[in-house]
Amino acid sequence: METVFRLESPRVIAGVARIVRDVGIAEELAQDALVAALEQWPRDGVPDNPGAWLMATARHRAVDLVRRRETYARKLQEIGRDRTLSSPAPYDEPADPDGIDDDLLRLVFTTCHPVLSPEARTALTLRLLGGLSTAEIARAHLVPEPTIAQRIVRAKRTLAARNVAFEVPCGPDREARLDSVLDVIYLVFNEGYAATAGEDLLRPGLCEDALRLARVLSALMPKEPEVHGLAALLEFQASRTAARTGPDGGPVLLKDQNRRRWNRMLIARGVQALDRARATATGAPGRYALQAAIAACHAHAYTYEETDWRTIATLYGLLAARAPSPVVELNRAVAVSMADGPAEGLKLVDALAAEPALRDYHLLPSVRGDLLARLGRTAQARAEFERAAALARNGRERELLLRRADEVPS
């Protein structure tokens, strides 16, 4: 039941928000539907389509709520007098000039409204669209959990107080929200691609939602290079999904992946999207186009040994200048180690040791352990892998890191 709700809650919240026009209330109604499921499913059995059951239950409660409001007559015209639980009638909404009919996309643009701070937009969207817990969002942003909790609560209140419309905006309003929308789609995909916590490495449903939203945006905004850059990046990353886990669900490192399992159709789509990003750009490439170019280098290498690490290191240098962050620098260190040797990479990694944002980031000691192992400093490498395992919140990653510690020669 927990798995079903985690998979379906974004669609339920988005569908209900379209009725009640309040994302906070929509989340509460989705949770009410879960409570109803907890009461009824053990007694009556799990329905054939659990997601549809949750959606219908939440919508029914949303309609009841709207009917109790003082604006009953006006809302009743919008949602239809004879709506039934099993077969909701279409909504009478203003026509979207771009013909976009996607509740998830509306939810993203609503939670990325400029009345919210960038940090609040990201946290709220990850909570509602990604189904992430407060702890998972805090982990992804490398900030304390209470900070994220406060951001989410304040964001919901602000959207309700300002009566923000549940819509995909047009013209300048759409452009004003674009950066935040791209950021949250990227973060939702990342959570699906490498889950922050839990026992599963992948959450494919999140990857699929994020990829679909990126494709919709590409059609919606064909002249925006970063939209195409993000779409290209997600296509390339999604192409590797089947090869990223073994038969037992455990992670498979990039160098060990069977590249024949990489999806060549998605790679081709990534190449096309990256070409569009370059064709529409009028200046230096943006951060998503640069990351897509890095992913393209991996996609074009038919074996790990053929990877053009020097180009990747150069691209990471450009990305660090365009969008500086400790995580980008850590990735650049890995590329430099492959291009110029582990000693050069270790210098860059050690320079990041004092970064507060990376203090509890398990990939820092993981990368350091790999570089130390390549340099023959086995005792230190083993200690770093063990430290990384202690910091990892995802069970599959923890198992891999402990296994790597055991595999380091004595």
One-letter amino acid at 56 equals A
Lowest-confidence pick of 53-57, 83-87, 321-325 = 83-87
Which residue is it, tokens 């669209």? 129
CA atoms within 13 A on the CB side of 234: 31
With 60 as the cut, is the pLDDT of residue 85 above it? no
Q: Give the span between the Cα atoms of 88 and 60, in whole angstroms.
A: 9
- Identity of the highest mean pLDDT range in 86-90, 190-194, 388-392: 388-392
Largest CA distance in the chain: 76
Q: Give the span between the Cα atoms of 62 and 16, in whole angstroms.
A: 6
Give me the pLDDT at residue 112, please. 86
For the stretch 54-58, contacts whose Cβ atoms lie closer than 8 Å and that sit 24 or more positions apart, written own/partner, are 54/4, 54/5, 54/8, 54/9, 54/12, 54/30, 55/8, 55/11, 55/12, 55/15, 56/85, 56/86, 56/88, 57/32, 57/33, 57/85, 58/12, 58/15, 58/16, 58/29, 58/30, 58/32, 58/33
* Arithmetic mean of pLDDT, 358-362: 90
Which one, of 203, 16, 231, 230, lies nearest residue 106 by Cα? 16
> Band of the pLDDT at 89, cuts 50, 70, 90?
very low
Share of the chain above pLDDT 70, in %: 90
Which one, of 161, 321, 302, 291, lies nearest residue 226 by Cα? 291
> Band of the pLDDT at 276, cuts 50, 70, 90?
very high
With 70 as the cut, is the pLDDT of residue 108 above it? yes
With 80 as the cut, is the pLDDT of residue 338 above it? yes
* Arithmetic mean of pLDDT, 146-170: 89
> Band of the pLDDT at 72, cuts 50, 70, 90?
low
> Band of the pLDDT at 71, cuts 50, 70, 90?
low
With 70 as the cut, is the pLDDT of residue 95 above it? no
With 50 as the cut, is the pLDDT of residue 134 above it? yes
With 80 as the cut, is the pLDDT of residue 69 above it? no
Q: Give the span between the Cα atoms of 276 and 84, in whole angstroms.
A: 45
pLDDT averaged over every residue in the chain: 86
With 80 as the cut, is the pLDDT of residue 111 above it? yes
> Band of the pLDDT at 288, cuts 50, 70, 90?
very high
With 50 as the cut, is the pLDDT of residue 90 above it? no
* Arithmetic mean of pLDDT, 196-224: 83
